[in-house]
Amino acid sequence: MLEGFQDNLFTTLDFWYFTINLIMALLCGLVISIFYRLSYRGPHYSASFVQALVILAMVTALVIMVIGNNLARAFGLVGAMSIIRFRTAVKDTQDIVFIFFALAAGMAAGVGLKSLAFFGTFMIGLIIFSLHRIRYAQPHKKQFLLQFQFQLEGDESPYIAILDKYCKSHKLVNMQSLGELNQFELSFYVELRRKDQHGQMLKELNSTAFVQHVRLYLDEDQF
């Protein structure tokens, strides 16, 4: 009878231990996802990735609790996980950072280090957000990628005068033949004199003879 009481007691304690750890992992995952949303700058924002960060922290905590101090379970889980193939390409380096961030928070919650999981999540999240706000390591000079199609007629390049007018500097980085007679796609790196004049530059280029399909890019954002 005493043995059954002890089993029930330990089962109850384990239940609350697991529940509290999972809740802590959930809270850390939510905090991480919030910091990700606040600091994300790229054009490929994915709501499913944000949700996955929350679930990843909880799943990691669960895996750590399942393994515990059992070496056989650890090898068993490694073998089971090795059959899974992840084919989703991660396009942004910061996404990889946040994946490891969620894994680390989940591991801390899974082993019961609640204070470490909570404060570590907030500290790292605040640092990431602060670096984003002060634009740390962002280049002072912003170069745009300008692309357009041009039909070459003689030696004239009427677009050069427009580039000189709106750009501090411009450099031809690629010239590709489109297969049609004298039709080329040109790519320039340009540094604008004033960023708010990009619309006027595009308008003048589009109205220039033999120039069409004008596009302007900065950090994969299209204007």
Pairing of strands 211-218, 144-151: antiparallel
- Would you say 208 and 166 are in contact if contact means Cβ atoms under 8 Å apart? no
Provide the pLDDT for residue 2: 41
Q: Which one of 101, 133, 165 terminates a domain? A: 133
132-141 residue pLDDT tens: 888 776 655 5
Residue 10 backbone phi and psi in degrees, to 5? -70, -35
- Which CATH number belongs to the domain containing residue 148 in this structure? 3.30.70.2690
Report which of residues 193 and 1 the model is more confident about. 193
Are 35 and 128 part of one and the same domain? yes
* pTM (whole model) above 0.85: no
Tell whether the model's pLDDT for residue 87 goes beyond 70: no
Q: Which one of 67, 102, 133 terminates a domain? A: 133
Q: Which one of 92, 110, 133 terminates a domain? A: 133
Classify residue 155: in a domain, yes or no.
yes
Provide the domain count of the chain.
Answer: 2
Are 33 and 92 part of one and the same domain? yes
**Domain containing 32: what range?**
2-133
Classify residue 94: in a domain, yes or no.
yes
